[in-house]
A = this chain, B = another copy of it.
Amino acid sequence: MPPDTTRSHATLTDVAKAAGVSVGTASKALNGRFDVKRETRERVLRAADELNFRPNALARGLLAGRTQSVGVITNDLDGRFAPKIVVGVENALGADQSSVLLSITRGDPELEAHYIRSFQERRVDGILIVGNIPESRPPARGLDRTPVVYVFSPSSSPEDASVIADNVAAGRLAAEHLIEQGKRHIYYLGGPPEEVAARDRGQGTREQILAAGLSVSPLQILYGTWAEQWGWDAVGGILASGAPVDGLVCGDDQIARGAIDRLLSEGVSIPDRAAVIGFDNWWILAQNSRHPFSSVDMELEAIGGRAARILTTGAPAPGVVAHPGHVVARWSTIGDAPR
């Protein structure tokens, strides 16, 4: 008789029957327990293979009380940050044989609550709440006792666990890199002053310049928008002012690109007369442009992985873990590689 094709999957009972043993024995055999005769085990394994047996994770989870799965709540998935974070999460959990349940809220608190509920019904072992801006957010509601870790956007409650990017440290790294290249007159072209990421990166830049014994006037710390046009305009202004400038820390890669385009169009040679570094290390801009440029990689994958590991390793400890990035040096600060 051919295998039963009416039901979608063979059950353990089917396997046991085919192998001529009881379900209990079949279970032990498949789970590699030692109290099964070798010959029996082999018979069971063969039967399972022939029937294409897939142990029902629902039944297992129901019994075990845990599901080897975590829920991930994101604001968006096509922005700049969430995709890489989720990749890091998935990598970390995949190694743990855990599954990722993904949801997208578009910032809607109602939807967030809905997904939290849905994840709880599915008995996920934990929940990651991934933000898309580096600003703190109120803790999610309706959380029961499911463990939660906030990622990128920290929770405003000190009782919660969060993993975020350390923008102050990143700013320091950027400035340090320029100073190491011998630059002495460094400007910071930041994003909007009301955004904490823009301010933090600026603060780090400033701190590091001062730490190197160089001076920095308020005129060298500028705020604008996250756009190319701002980088372009700002460089125009600085050059027109006649003030000395040999290094630019740009608040993000878009600003950096605008700055570089302007420098080149004004005939300023890069990196000799002026070096430029951005943030985020977005490959489409920093790497794939006609003029590749240096950038501080915020290591979003590592941030995601770290959050996932914190979530799945006992109860997450309250507090914020800030993750620094690292500098990826390219033409705009170190010139073309020697051949």
Residues of A near any B CB (own CB < 8 A): 5, 8-9, 52, 54-59, 61-62, 65, 67, 69, 72, 76-78, 83-84, 86-87, 90-91, 94, 97, 99-104, 111, 117-118, 120-123, 144-146, 227-229, 232, 254, 258, 261, 282, 284-285, 288-290
Contact = CB atoms under 8 A, between A and B. Distances in A.
A8 B65 contact: yes
B290 A261 contact: yes
Contacts of A55: 121
Say how many copies of this protein the assembly contains: 2
Given A54-B120, A144-B9, A144-B52, A229 B290 contact: yes
A290 B121 contact: no
A83 B58 CA distance: 29
Contacts of A285: 284
Contact of A56 (B57, B104, B121): B121
Contacts of A288: 227-228, 254
Contact of A86 (B52, B61, B77, B94): B77
B87 A103 contact: no
Contacts of A104: 87, 90-91, 94
Contacts of A227: 288
A283 to B, nearest CB: 9
B77 A87 contact: yes
From DSSP, what is the main secondary structure of chain A's interface residues? mixed
A258 B290 contact: yes
Given A72-B102, A78-B83, 6 more contacts: A8-B146, A9-B120, A62-B62, A77-B77, A94-B111, A100-B103
A267 B91 CA distance: 49
Nearest to A231: B290
Contacts of A290: 228-229, 232, 258, 261
A83 B69 CA distance: 21
B87 A99 contact: no
Which 10 A-B pairs give the minimum distances between C-beta atoms? A78-B83, A102-B102, A57-B121, A57-B122, A58-B62, A58-B58, A54-B120, A100-B102, A228-B290, A58-B61
Contacts of A61: 58
Contacts of A144: 8-9, 52, 54
A124 to B, nearest CB: 10
Nearest to A227: B288
Nearest to A76: B87
A291 to B, nearest CB: 9
